[in-house]
Amino acid sequence: MQKRVLVWEAPVRLFHWVAVISMFSLAVTGYYIGFPFLTASGEASSSYLMGWMRAVHFVAAFVLGIACLIRLYWFFTGNEYARFRDWIPVGGVRRSLFWRQVKYYLFLTRKRPEVLGHNPVAGLSYLIVLLLILGQGLIGFALYAEAYQDGFWRSAFGWLLPLFGNQNLRLTHHLLMWVFAAFLIVHLYMSVLAEIEERNGTLTSMFGGYKTEEQPDAYRDLAYREAAAVGEKPED
């Protein structure tokens, strides 16, 4: 008998899709700003295509920044699947699951660890991506501040310009875009793989929030067995 479990709360799902839409908008408009691949007929001032691309780029960056702040807040107030420890492989149980997951990805074992929330490898990758997003935003705001000689933006982010140089920041900003694109491809592949092998509603859970498990409290039972195996006190 299967049990439906609310794994991804509404703020987590909202952050996920806002991040997807924002990052896609940022990638397309950012690529256009660097390499204008569309041309408008007539006077450039009448179409203002580059201006619109820059405007969408900036708005998407602000939206993504606000979404990241809400997600950081939810790390402390969300359910057990939304908190920091679901992203960081600390503690004997999570470390054990982490290495078992690594062995599975490296084809060293056929048994996929059963984890209802983020598996430890995926959780750690999401943490790294979140830090890269924050770094990308910092660089983006520094480039945005370049147009100002003083004021808030220049004071808050302009110090990066003399420290790293304009071209280095632009190159890093561009390269990180491709890192995010590569992550998206791997993320999609892993999600489909989990859906096929686990059959617990991995893909649909990102819309409705619910997954299914064969036995109630399967994850907690597994955690207790893992903790007992390494001689540690089980986490509540």
**pLDDT tens profile 39-61:** 777 776 677 888 899 999 999 99
Q: What is the largest CA-CA distance in the chain?
A: 74
Q: Write down the pTM of the prediction.
A: 0.81
Distance CA 53, CA 29 (A): 5
Model confidence at 232, pLDDT cuts 50, 70, 90, reads low
**pLDDT tens profile 17-36:** 999 999 999 999 999 998 88
**For the ranges 41-45, 98-102, 118-122, which has the lowest average pLDDT?**
41-45
Burial of 210 from C-beta contacts in 10 A (0-12 / 13-18 / 19+): middle
Distance CA 125, CA 112 (A): 18
